[in-house]
A = this chain, B = another copy of it.
Amino acid sequence: MNRRSFHRAPEGERRQELIEATLDCISEFGLKGATVRQIAIRAGVTAGLVRHYFESKDQMVAEAYRAVIASLTDKASKVEGDPETRLRDFIAINLTEPVADSRSISLWAAFISQVRVDPELAEIHREGYLTFRNTLQELLADFLAAKGKPADAETCRALAIAINGLVDGLWVEGCLAGDLFREGELVAIAMSSVEALLGTSIGTAKP
């Protein structure tokens, strides 16, 4: 019986490949369909190797969750330009691909459904949520200041909670039923809604 040939992956690369394969399996087959064997097949290795890189399957899943959070928040946290542009980009990024697609929400939901079961996942979630909301809150404070609008901390907090909710909710709607909306419709609705909430144009008015 011939042992199949194999090549050694460069430092750290295998780890990343395994995490990516884990996410592929979770999004395609669900959490319970993401078995060690299935993940190994997807990554093009054998099951035994998983245990060489991760102490347990649970640990690998937790790391995979961190990767999901990062992929969902990285781009939006790096917006640049003047406050108005940053706010607009923040909203648009979160409601268009690749952040808003069915794979993303499958992964997000799979992990959210486990936060009650696994305290480590709960901690990862809370940290990601607060980071996201605080980014938004600073964005809003900068924007309102630039517009010469009064914006005490309490007002900014309430607006950040509301707009965070709005964006998250529209993100869910779009991910789950993208075909029910016209191209760009969700982004347009989000923009005009945020304008209504802030009582100010954010530069999206039609000519």
The interface of chain A, by Cβ under 8 A from chain B, is: 26-33, 102-103, 105-107, 109-110, 112-117, 125-126, 129, 158, 161-162, 164-170, 172-173, 176-177, 181, 185-186, 189-190, 192-193, 196-197, 199
Closest B residue to A102 using CB positions: B116
Contacts of A172 in B (CB 8 A): 165, 168-169, 172
Please pick, from B31, B166, B190, the residue contacting A30 in the complex, using a CB distance under 8 A.
B31
Chain B's nearest CB lies how many Å from the CB of A35? 10
Most buried by B among A125, A161, A199: A161
Chain B's nearest CB lies how many Å from the CB of A88? 17
Chain B's nearest CB lies how many Å from the CB of A65? 12
Main secondary structure of the interface of A (DSSP, over half): helix
CA distance A167 to B166 in the complex (A): 8
Closest B residue to A116 using CB positions: B106
- Taking a contact as CB atoms under 8 Å apart, the answer to whether B117 and A112 are in contact is no
- Taking a contact as CB atoms under 8 Å apart, the answer to whether A189 and B113 are in contact is no
Q: Pick the 4 closest A-B CB pairs, nearest first.
A: A169-B169, A165-B169, A32-B32, A109-B113
Contacts of A168 in B (CB 8 A): 165, 168-169, 172-173
Known: A161-B170, A169-B170, A176-B129. A106 touches B113 (CB 8 A): yes
Chain B's nearest CB lies how many Å from the CB of A34? 9
> 4 new A-B pairs (CB below 8 Å) besides A28-B116, A106-B113?
A30-B31, A30-B114, A30-B117, A115-B176
